[in-house]
Amino acid sequence: MNRENFLNEVERRFTFAFKASKSGHPIPDIERHRLQGFMQAGVFLGLCNRSELNTIMENTHMRIFHKSIEERKLSAPVSWIYEETDYSIYDTPAFTRRS
């Protein structure tokens, strides 16, 4: 694999991941890890450096989401998992809440 093919494949994989994320599908950990490993292999083999990979990631993200990764992090709503749920209504027994 030459440098150009490698960088095109990285961009293709980022595009796939970001489009899935945009449509509401979380990126499976295994796919994220494969992409990370693929990029590390490219750096190890001297096909690219981390700065080039970061640029590809930012540019692809900007093309898909129309905002930078940092802007998206700031504008993303807090996940429901982290919201605090108020369970105080359950402090009283259910039979007394019916009335």
Per-residue pLDDT tens listing for the chain (99 residues): 899 999 999 999 999 999 998 898 888 889 999 999 999 999 999 999 999 999 999 999 999 999 998 888 888 665 444 445 666 777 777 777 665
**What are the sequence ranges of the domains in the chain?**
3-82
* Token pair listed for 53: 């990979």
Give the CA angle between residues 45, 49, 53 to the nearest 5°: 115
pLDDT at 78: 52
Query: What's residue 77's pLDDT?
Result: 61
Contact by Cβ (8 Å): 14, 56:
yes
pLDDT at 9: 98
Please state, in angstroms and as integers, the Cα–Cα distance from residue 27 to each residue in 2, 19, 80, 81, following that order: 27, 10, 18, 17
27: number of CA atoms within 13 Å, CB side?
18
